[in-house]
Amino acid sequence: MIRLIPDWLLYIIVIAAVVVLLFRIDRRADAPEALPESPEIGAYLPPPSEYDPEVLVEVGPISSGMGSAFAVSREGWWLTARHVVDGCQDVGLIVSRSSAARVREVRRALFADIALLRTDSAPAALAIDTSERRFQIGQRAFHVGFPQGQPGEAYSRLIGRETLVARGRYDIEEPVLAWAEQGRTSGLGGSLAGISGGPAFAANGQVIGVTVAESARRGRIYTAAPSSILRLLRVEQVEADGEPAPRLSADNYGQEADDLRRGLAVAQVVCVAPGEDSPL
């Protein structure tokens, strides 16, 4: 069912998403400078190890806000970050400037910062590449979503694996992929808060991760590993049946990301915290 969301509520939620980060490592007023281009592709990504560096993140209390999601099945299944929708009274996907589709069901992973959302249908769905051991150090990723509540994207290069240790509202430890940010589309500065839950694409247009955290000070972006995505799909018996996006490059990823959002393959998520009036 689609119902109108008052403009004043959207405004409050967008401001809350900017000011109160749902999931953060640290803050910085401006985005880091783009790192030098490194065209060399290195060794294949090793499997997770107990010796992988750890990155500690704090999961804050439940609050209304916004994030990102992307469709993986035309039957209405979407992937997002767990911290975006965990504990929400109501969850919706923005489908136009004044309306949202209510999320019928939320299925959270207990082992990773990812979750599945269920709507009646999805107009488009994206293909997922789960062959992470074939990933190579230095390869590119393109992160698409709604940073700071607005359409935006960034691109990065793969550094390696780390272990994300989440503490706070819930506790998890999971292997994640660490990426060095290389650049952003014009006009996007400051935190990437709000892009959480959005897809990370390989250059061939396949999804290779879910963006779950950033460290602005270090110029790092973290994505849930494809193995975690595959595990959640298997546990919940969801069959992903999407198609790859067009090929992406540092020159065209902004335009292609706009097309993905317009086609609702990538959508904005609204979380309404418990005890608040829900427009959904």
Which tens digits make up the pLDDT trace of 34-74? 444 445 678 999 999 999 999 999 998 888 899 999 999 99
pLDDT value for 248:
97
Average pLDDT over residues 242-268: 96
Q: Does residue 18 register a pLDDT over 70?
A: no
Separation between Cα atoms, residue 66 and residue 149, nearest integer Å = 7
pLDDT value for 15:
39
Terminal CA-CA length for the chain: 9
Q: Does residue 118 register a pLDDT over 60?
A: yes
Please say whether the beta carbons of 88 and 100 come within 8 A. no
The DSSP annotation for 225-238 comes to: -HHHHHHHHHHTT-
Of the pLDDT bands very low, low, confident and very high (cuts 50, 70, 90), residue 177 is: very high
Separation between Cα atoms, residue 37 and residue 40, nearest integer Å = 9
pLDDT value for 279:
60
Of the pLDDT bands very low, low, confident and very high (cuts 50, 70, 90), residue 278 is: low
pLDDT value for 213:
95
Please say whether the beta carbons of 106 and 87 come within 8 A. no
pTM recorded for the entire structure: 0.85
Of the pLDDT bands very low, low, confident and very high (cuts 50, 70, 90), residue 258 is: very high
Summarised one tens digit per residue, pLDDT across range 185-214 is 878 888 899 999 999 999 999 999 999 999
Alpha helices, H only, 69-120 = 82-85
Alpha helices, H only, the chain = 7-19, 82-85, 226-235, 253-262
Summarised one tens digit per residue, pLDDT across range 70-88 is 999 999 999 999 999 999 9
Separation between Cα atoms, residue 249 and residue 253, nearest integer Å = 6
pLDDT value for 40:
65
Please say whether the beta carbons of 239 and 73 come within 8 A. yes
pLDDT value for 98:
73
The SS3 of residue 218 is coil
Separation between Cα atoms, residue 56 and residue 60, nearest integer Å = 13
Of the pLDDT bands very low, low, confident and very high (cuts 50, 70, 90), residue 280 is: low
To the nearest whole number, what is the mean pLDDT of the chain? Answer: 86
Average pLDDT over residues 153-162: 96
Min mean pLDDT across 13-17, 159-163, 276-280 is at: 13-17
- Within 13 Å, how many C-alpha atoms sit on residue 216's CB side? 16
**Which CATH number, 3.20.20.70, 2.40.10.120, 3.30.70.3000, 1.10.40.30, labels domain 2-272?**
2.40.10.120
Percentage of the chain lying above the pLDDT 70 cut: 84
Query: Which residues, in sequence order, are CB contacts of 257 under 8 Å at separation 6+?
Result: 142, 144, 151, 153, 185, 266
pLDDT value for 137:
96
